[in-house]
Amino acid sequence: MNTTGDYLTFAEYPTHPSAIPTPTNPTSLLEYVMSLTPDSEAMNTLAKNLHDYIITNSISPTASDTAYGDSITFSGLGYGYYLVYGTADDGDGNIVTAACALDTTGPGMTVYLKLDSPSISKTVSNGGAFGSSTDEYIGGTVEFQIVTTVPSMRGYNTYNYVVRDQLSEGLDYMGNLRVYKGSVAPANAVTGAANFTVTPPSPATGSGVKNLTISFTKAFLASMNPGDEIIILYEARLNQYAQTGAAGNSNSAILEYSNNPYGAGTGTTPPTEATVYTFEIDIFKFNDAGALAGAVFSLREGIGTSGAIVHFSPDAVRPLGTYERVAPGTGGALVTFQSPASGEISLRGLSGGTYTLEEVAAPLNHQRLSDPITVTITPATDINGELTGEYTVAFPTQYSDGSGIINILNVELPPEFFEAGGIGRTIFIVVGSLLMASAAATWVIWTVRKRIKVRS
């Protein structure tokens, strides 16, 4: 489209009458273009319509080439207006079509094609901040955050902008989804189908992955500036299908977005992921003969036996002696757990922290462990302070064999201790008490005598 003749009129495009709006008075195409403000909506609409006409009619370009850097130069062009368009790789494997530019040539004229692809990040709450990982107990709730950036929609009549979120099997979708423009503040909250629609997972709980989608309207995106942030928050609960340790329980998100203003093509961002970790404590109960069944324990939070008791439910899938932490009030929840014939107990779904393990009842004919055991779970972190899923379980060395398993020995009492319907046990206790009293008296007398002797 150049100045030669200056008589190129709208009537010369009969096969594509919508390409150029008909002016109120006859005028040349060049004069109409010159009347438009650069990068205005009218100019962009004209550029798009001309692009459609060129593609529809297979018109060869005046010049074309491939850029191997971030720019390309066309030389030897005459003065006039040129439609510039192209595609590029956005660095994530998506081919993005730029909104074409209609501009005039001149000495050193530069045209910037806007190749724009939005971004997305996924994080999870951890101690009041958001990061790529956290730890939680089974039954506990975490908050996920998704942050996306508003794209440039220049040249688009419609725009597809969909967040696709996937919760792994160990996470249940609990809802409470909120959307904010720019920052999390009540004044920035966004609601209503005019702005976005949510398709929650179905089912939202139980086994299997759960897929959540949030679709934003073009009108909502157009109400913001390119580069502005959209913040999405929602809650999820760690469930009984959660993986312990380094396997973790991931939550990933991608953004599907329009990448061609002249077609229906879409691109997707690489997945962004946040992970919830949970841990376990392993116990082996035994006597001199080997594994011991029937020992009953409880677990409390913190140090000592006054902390909140931890509730468990037997795992219906894993080996006998495996228990999952559950929220208080859960149907069938237990406040104690028992060693099976294998003597092996696994307590799954615990967050990092300190716990107190107490044996509340010993197997028949065995002495109950008298002192509670303090157990501390410490999650490992990387150089950025993010959890790795690895962890250590610390407890007194007398219960350790170096494997990380708490080995608890029960002493078997002699048969006569239980003879005569319990009388033997009573005699044992009475005699034992007398012996202890005698020992105490001896210690006191000996101490007194020793002191007297020293003084003399």
Q: Write out the DSSP string of 87-127.
A: EEE-SSS-EEEPBPEEEE--TT-----B-----EEEEEEET
How far is CA 129 from each of CA 123, 124, 134, 173, rounded to the nearest angstrom? 9, 8, 10, 21
Residue 226 structure tokens:
């390119």
Residue 127 structure tokens:
């101690």
Give the whole-angstrom CA distance, residue 172 versus residue 155: 40
Give the whole-angstrom CA distance, residue 205 versus residue 209: 9
Do the beta carbons of residue 216 and residue 230 sit within 8 Å?
yes
- Record: fold of 120-277: Immunoglobulin-like (2.60.40)
Strands 322-326 and 344-350, by their bridges, are parallel
What is the chain's alpha carbon radius of gyration, rounded to the nearest angstrom?
Answer: 37
- Per-residue confidence (pLDDT) for residue 29, from 0 to 100: 63
Residue 54 structure tokens:
């060129």
- Using left for φ > 0, alpha for ψ between -120 and 50, and beta otherwise, residue 153 falls in alpha
Residue with tokens 């999952």: 324
Give the whole-angstrom CA distance, residue 44 versus residue 26: 22
Strands 133-135 and 272-277, by their bridges, are parallel
How far is CA 101 from each of CA 45, 78, 85, 98, 152, rounded to the nearest angstrom? 10, 17, 7, 9, 14
Do the beta carbons of residue 156 and residue 218 sit within 8 Å?
yes
Three-state DSSP at 199 gives strand
203: cis peptide before it, omega within 30°?
Answer: yes
CATH no. for 279-413:
2.60.40.10
Domain 120-277 shares a fold with domain 279-413: yes
- As a three-state string, the secondary structure of 142-161 is EEEEEEEECCCCCCCCCCCE
Q: Which residue type is seen at 232?
A: I
3-state helix, strand, coil in the chain (%, to 5): 20, 40, 45
- Per-residue confidence (pLDDT) for residue 20, from 0 to 100: 52
Q: Give 149: exposed, middle or buried? Use CB within 10 Å, 0-12, 13-18, 19+.
A: middle
The candidate with the shortest Cα–Cα distance to 165, out of 201, 137, 197, is: 201
Q: Tell me the domain boundaries of the chain.
A: 10-104, 120-277, 279-413, 416-455
Q: Which residues pair with 273 in a beta bridge?
A: 252
- Per-residue confidence (pLDDT) for residue 92, from 0 to 100: 55
Give the whole-angstrom CA distance, residue 47 versus residue 304: 75
**Neighbouring C-beta atoms of residue 448, cutoff 10 Å:** 10
Give the whole-angstrom CA distance, residue 266 versus residue 260: 7
Q: Look up the pTM and report it.
A: 0.74
State the DSSP H helix or E strand holding residue 373, giving kind and residue range, or none if neither. Answer: strand 373-381
- Per-residue confidence (pLDDT) for residue 127, from 0 to 100: 85
The candidate with the shortest Cα–Cα distance to 242, out of 313, 317, 171, is: 171
- Per-residue confidence (pLDDT) for residue 7, from 0 to 100: 31
Do the beta carbons of residue 396 and residue 374 sit within 8 Å?
yes
Do the beta carbons of residue 380 and residue 390 sit within 8 Å?
yes
Q: What is the pLDDT of residues 404-433, one digit of tens each?
A: 999 999 988 876 665 544 444 554 444 454
What's the average pLDDT block by block, 10 residues per block, for the chain (456 residues)? 34 42 53 70 71 75 69 68 63 50 56 67 93 94 96 80 96 96 95 95 92 96 93 96 94 90 79 96 95 96 93 90 89 92 96 96 92 96 94 96 94 67 49 46 34 30
Give the whole-angstrom CA distance, residue 214 versus residue 161: 9
Residues 6+ apart with CB under 8 A from 116: 96, 151, 152, 154, 226
- Give the chain's count of helices (H) and strands (E): 4, 28
Residue 399 structure tokens:
């219960």
